[in-house]
Structure 1
């Protein structure tokens, strides 16, 4: 067995990125993906001339993407074309005694955002400029000193770089994001614009620490972009880079165990066409759901966490996803739209509270990529709709047309009616010519997702940064974790950073910031 042989489990973005970095670093890498296609949650569905990204659809933190591709000897410009979105998104607040929502557009850039806030709440423009300056400071501190930090020991908290960044971060850990926002802005719509990024983190603005106001740097300062061809272009670029660097790429390979001996990783076993195969390896990277790895693939003695950890975990939301092909144009919707229910306390309590239920009305996200890209037949539009829900697999499976489980179908029907009413598209339901849904049980079935979550653990204070999990196993030398369910967290940029954290751990590099590009 070669000491440089590595096996990566999972061909989502984090697995692909990890395979790329390890292969470029000289390892002999095999990548095992359970399904027919690479990409994981960042998948694609094509049917009857329509194309849908089935997962991530916001291109944020562009410098993280650029840094990864530079590590691979290329650049984002060489890999795909990015389009800046104007507006960044449209907001549809819940109608108040009128037939449809009084929507407004959010445009990126501090001055544009400040002008919008000022038009809604006098004095809010000046306060927003200060808010965004703070968000930018916190964001840059997080990237420079925390997100890329392996925190291999407590010494990682005491490096000069971390201590210098601490004043921009630590005071923001003692209050909630919503409390931080509410002290500065009175209008509920403006509070929601600043609080909604908590959903990207799989949590509630009432539970996320105020540190996460840094997320407003992404959409209101830095801007929102879209890769032409969809996010599948990002996945395709990673697949191409992995193959170019000699990664052995295998699909339809269902990993059933990680073999350890004397506290060291030894091999991975997988099933293909009913036969079991074994690959020796000294480095194993699990880029799949951490709970599945710990509780199913590893023996009890090799697990980093006791079973009680999973009982206590605050799980991020699940979702019903809708992919809709619609006849005719829909000018009421730009590329991104957010539909905000008025009572967010009730909305988030339904998802995260002690009596979990489907929110009614729900706060929805709608993507119309056909506003920007050629992803629908002539004279048609593609719509992707996300309805956040409790992580509850009993809600059921989705399916093609009306072949979904009853609750999933009801949630989808209600979402379509809500979009139709709030956005003033009265004939939306009649114009749908293609419909596919995904439910919480599908996330569990397709991705072995714990509790059917769409995102992984919520970014509460106790599940953020180095408290979220580990990159290197606490029990098994040579075993590492990557992806949204471990550090640093949820989202495509975080998955790219998690891959770099694996490489740093393998190298024994404890530096707090991004690797130098050679």
Structure 2
């Protein structure tokens, strides 16, 4: 008899885990609360426009290649990938922006133009970042966070100082130009922490950015979800949507079944790719590993206020990915991490996938996604959403020298309350738990429950951390752990 595994949720990590487990001979069923698979990586379709609701950046293509290679296939079998040029642009003032192109050579020219001599420093910085990338992404992140000794290798011992310095310190030491420093500090926001709280070792994100580049899957990031879903089904995984989990049944300290829509599904092993904190609320209190106090003390990655906007014309002076850093970065960061509140003048990010991809909008129109990073747990009202949309759209018009307000066909928003309602997300966070020094590797919530046998976790609140590539890796790590403990 095959061992039965019930997986809660169908985000990147859960789908990835399902593929490995089905391949290894388990009978795998995924239970997803929403109507479609993908967890946070869903799609919004409206009036001929298509938006990725969740992730919009495709970085670290090698991690996706490694995932598909584990099943003797390739990403290209499922979707078409295009390298973006430019990768993105960053606005600092009215019609004042720096464009990051698709090769390190071109980026060096842009840096040199901004600050003579800076390209030499950049090459040195990226060389170290590449070295960190080789250590982290090719080795360390594929370890299950079970023991501190996983981080102790001959290579990491040489880099020990980089765990105790910060990205901000390193960047500011090498680059005196504030604008260039901000561009180098921005990628760690994907790790969910401030540059001055993120260990230097995480500069590998800069190599992902400048050394490898930014890509776009044709028809959007959701194609990656559809690819992994197709792979999972080809391996025999059953997927049940509109199945919200009401309870995890534990008998004698052992997870034995889940209850959804009034039906009890017996399971030999239960794996949750849903929000970690939420999953533990499905257990009787004596089986909860991490108290409310534990979660309260953790540094969470931001939540977001997102807008999905259909424009009736093509926009100018923007790229597929455009960042707006025309206000004080540190002040906004304080409003997220130090004294959580709605930021007075927020930084924001905008994505216009229809610049690259004609599937994103009808001919002659533009699809726009706008994102403001926010502290999780903030009050979220329709009035606040409207206020902040007006704030950023006015700045957008001024900075890019065009009027767009009258060209809006529709706008949809997504914020803290939606993250809670749609994903059971703790405090409505968007990216999981930040990768600070004290929340790295074995210091993150564990893949295996300490109190319930046969209960496992995967996703952005556990190892290796936030982001799409780490989520794929998390799925692999937990599948390996399950196989180790439950070989057929």
TM-score normalised over the length of structure 2: 0.96
Question: Partners in 1 of 2:386 and 2:71 — Cα distance?
Answer: 43
Contact kept, 8 Å, 2:140 with 2:150, in 1: the verdict is no
- Residues 168 and 442 of structure 1, relative CA distance in 2, 3 Å threshold: farther
Q: Which runs of 5+ in 1 are unaligned?
A: 397-404, 510-518
Question: Partners in 2 of 1:387 and 1:209 — Cα distance?
Answer: 24
Aligned equivalent of 1:334, options 297, 312, 319: 319
Deviation at 1:110, TM superposition (A): 2.4
Question: Partners in 2 of 1:178 and 1:169 — Cα distance?
Answer: 17
Question: Partners in 2 of 1:178 and 1:168 — Cα distance?
Answer: 21
Q: Is 1:447 paired with 2:423? A: yes
Deviation at 1:233, TM superposition (A): 0.6
Question: Partners in 2 of 1:257 and 1:280 — Cα distance?
Answer: 12
Question: Partners in 2 of 1:204 and 1:434 — Cα distance?
Answer: 34
Deviation at 1:472, TM superposition (A): 1.3
Contact kept, 8 Å, 2:145 with 2:463, in 1: the verdict is no
Deviation at 1:409, TM superposition (A): 1.3
1:165-180 map, 5 Å:
165-167=155-157, 169-180=159-170
* Equivalent residue number for residue 352 of structure 2: 368
Contact kept, 8 Å, 1:141 with 1:168, in 2: the verdict is no
Contact kept, 8 Å, 1:141 with 1:169, in 2: the verdict is no
Question: Partners in 1 of 2:159 and 2:38 — Cα distance?
Answer: 33
1:335-484 map, 5 Å:
335-354=320-339, 356-374=340-358, 375-396=360-381, 405-425=382-402, 427-484=403-460
* Equivalent residue number for residue 57 of structure 1: 56
* Equivalent residue number for residue 400 of structure 1: none
Deviation at 1:152, TM superposition (A): 3.0
Question: Partners in 1 of 2:30 and 2:371 — Cα distance?
Answer: 30
Deviation at 1:168, TM superposition (A): 5.5
* Equivalent residue number for residue 119 of structure 2: 125
Aligned equivalent of 1:498, options 469, 474, 483: 474
Deviation at 1:346, TM superposition (A): 0.9
Name the count of aligned residue pairs: 484
Q: Is 1:236 paired with 2:226? A: yes
| Residues 468-477 or 366-375, more deviating | 468-477
Question: Partners in 2 of 1:82 and 1:169 — Cα distance?
Answer: 34
SS of the equivalent of 2:459 reads: coil
- Residues 194 and 168 of structure 1, relative CA distance in 2, 3 Å threshold: farther
- Residues 120 and 441 of structure 1, relative CA distance in 2, 3 Å threshold: same
Q: What CA RMSD, in Å, does the superposition of the two structures yield over aligned residues?
A: 1.5
* Equivalent residue number for residue 38 of structure 2: 39
Contact kept, 8 Å, 2:255 with 2:452, in 1: the verdict is yes
Question: Partners in 2 of 1:350 and 1:307 — Cα distance?
Answer: 23
Deviation at 1:80, TM superposition (A): 0.7
Deviation at 1:361, TM superposition (A): 2.0
Q: Is 1:290 paired with 2:280? A: no
Q: Which runs of 5+ in 2 are unaligned?
A: none
- Residues 168 and 74 of structure 1, relative CA distance in 2, 3 Å threshold: farther
Residue by residue over 1:388-433, the C-alpha shift from the partner in whole angstroms, topping out at 9 and shown as x without a partner, is 111124123xxxxxxxx111111112111121111212x1111111
- Residues 168 and 58 of structure 1, relative CA distance in 2, 3 Å threshold: farther
| Residues 333-342 or 445-454, more deviating | 333-342
SS of the equivalent of 1:316 reads: coil
Question: Partners in 2 of 1:59 and 1:253 — Cα distance?
Answer: 29
Deviation at 1:261, TM superposition (A): 2.2
Residue by residue over 1:261-290, the C-alpha shift from the partner in whole angstroms, topping out at 9 and shown as x without a partner, is 22222111112xxxx111111111100110
Contact kept, 8 Å, 2:342 with 2:378, in 1: the verdict is no
Deviation at 1:154, TM superposition (A): 4.7
Question: Partners in 2 of 1:70 and 1:489 — Cα distance?
Answer: 22
Q: Is 1:278 paired with 2:264? A: yes
TM-score normalised over the length of structure 1: 0.91
Question: Partners in 2 of 1:20 and 1:55 — Cα distance?
Answer: 22
Deviation at 1:498, TM superposition (A): 0.4
* Equivalent residue number for residue 23 of structure 1: 22
| Residues 225-234 or 106-115, more deviating | 106-115
Contact kept, 8 Å, 1:32 with 1:250, in 2: the verdict is yes
- Residues 154 and 213 of structure 1, relative CA distance in 2, 3 Å threshold: closer
Contact kept, 8 Å, 1:341 with 1:347, in 2: the verdict is no
Contact kept, 8 Å, 1:341 with 1:361, in 2: the verdict is no
